[in-house]
Amino acid sequence: MIKKAALNNYEKDLINSKSLKEIIPYFAGKKIHYFLRTNSTQDTAKGLADTGEKEGTVVLAERQSYGRGRFSRNWFSPRGGLWFSIILYPKISPEKNLQFSLITAISLCETLGKMFNIKPLIKWPNDIIYNEKKLGGILVESALISNRVKWTIIGAGLNVNNVLSAGIRKKAVSLKSILRYRINRTKLLAEILKNYYFNYKIFKIKGFKYFRTKFQRYSFLNNKNIKVEEGGRIYSGVVKEIDENGFLWIRLKNKIIRKILAGTILKYE
């Protein structure tokens, strides 16, 4: 049985449709599809994109039954977090998923900085880190038709007011545990989306080049010794920079500089 007090707290914290209505006019006709529960906002968004839903449409869920991260890892999505996906139809080459991940990460960090005066960092290519722990993650998926992008879905998950289980707490952190108060997720979502649409507009005109210096400011891996896995091979070296395509350059132990196009960071120190 759910206790009444707990239920009230839950209801108070819901991103209810009334508060969503307040922020929707903000987004120049863009729609937000809101669910109490969905399997994954990524999949719901894909279904909508397949039927031609408008660019910029957002799918938002209080909980996801099968939220997922990169490489199909489970993404724990209980109530109180911010779990959403944005539908885009970019007219750019399909290799740009990495850059989408990086500009989304920049948008999240900028918004959190402005709203709460904290400085989360980006662990290339898709992690939002605070005090060495994971505050959020980004998943970008695209569908292609004869080598052109049909749609791109930007998924973002942010630990906000959600409770983290003891196991997860070793590696992850929530905004509420950092700030020590309950966060208004509707306002937070509104600011994130506002900033994201703004950055996306610039990105379409100027490309990732424009965001490179911003990225360096938030880069968690700069000058760190890392072990990274790319295409089944493991490389160890020191992170030098992110280039204007968003690729990661590392100096290997034998002094050779290597460009990592897509990878998973296995270790850093």
**Binding positions for ligand BTN, rule: CB under 6 A:** 40-42, 64, 67-70, 73, 75, 77, 83-85, 126-127, 137-139, 155-157
- Dig out the tokens for 205 from the structure: 């005109």
Alpha-carbon gap, residue 183 to 119, rounded angstroms: 17
108 versus 149: smaller Cβ distance to ligand BTN: 108
Task: CB nearer to ligand BTN: give 226 or 237.
Answer: 226
Contact assessment for residue 155 and residue 42, using Cβ atoms and an 8 Å cutoff: yes
CB of 176 to ligand BTN, least distance (A): 17
CB of 236 to ligand BTN, least distance (A): 22
| Sheet containing 233-242, strands listed edge to edge, beginning at the edge strand earlier in sequence | 257-260, 248-252, 233-242, 225-230, 264-268
Sequence length of the chain is 269
Cα separation of 79 and 99, whole Å? 29
Tokens of residue 183, six digits: 């966060």
Is the CB of residue 265 less than 8 Å from the CB of residue 236?
no
- Closer to ligand BTN by Cβ: residue 240 or 264: 264
Smallest distance from the beta carbon of 193 to ligand BTN, in angstroms? 14
Nearer to ligand BTN, 77 or 107 (CB): 77
Q: Which is nearer to ligand BTN, 135 or 260 (CB)?
A: 135
At residue 67, what are phi and psi to the nearest 5 degrees? -60, 145
Residue with Cβ nearer ligand BTN (138 or 237): 138
Min separation Cβ 83 and ligand BTN, Å: 4
The minimum distance between CB 4 and ligand BTN, in angstroms, equals 30
- Least separation in angstroms between CB 62 and ligand BTN: 12
Residue at shortest CB range from ligand BTN: 137
Smallest gap from Cβ 197 to ligand BTN, in A, equals 18
End-to-end Cα distance, the chain: 46
CA distance 164 to 196: 26
In the complex with ligand BTN, the residue whose CB is nearer, 68 or 96, is 68
Q: Looking at beta carbons only, is 196 or 237 nearer to ligand BTN?
A: 196
CB-count burial class (<10 Å; 0-12, 13-18, 19+) for 120: buried
How many angstroms separate the Cα of 266 from the Cα of each of 134, 199, 237? Answer: 14, 30, 12
Q: How far is the CB of 231 from ligand BTN (least distance, A)?
A: 18
Cα distance between residue 135 and residue 218, in whole Å = 14
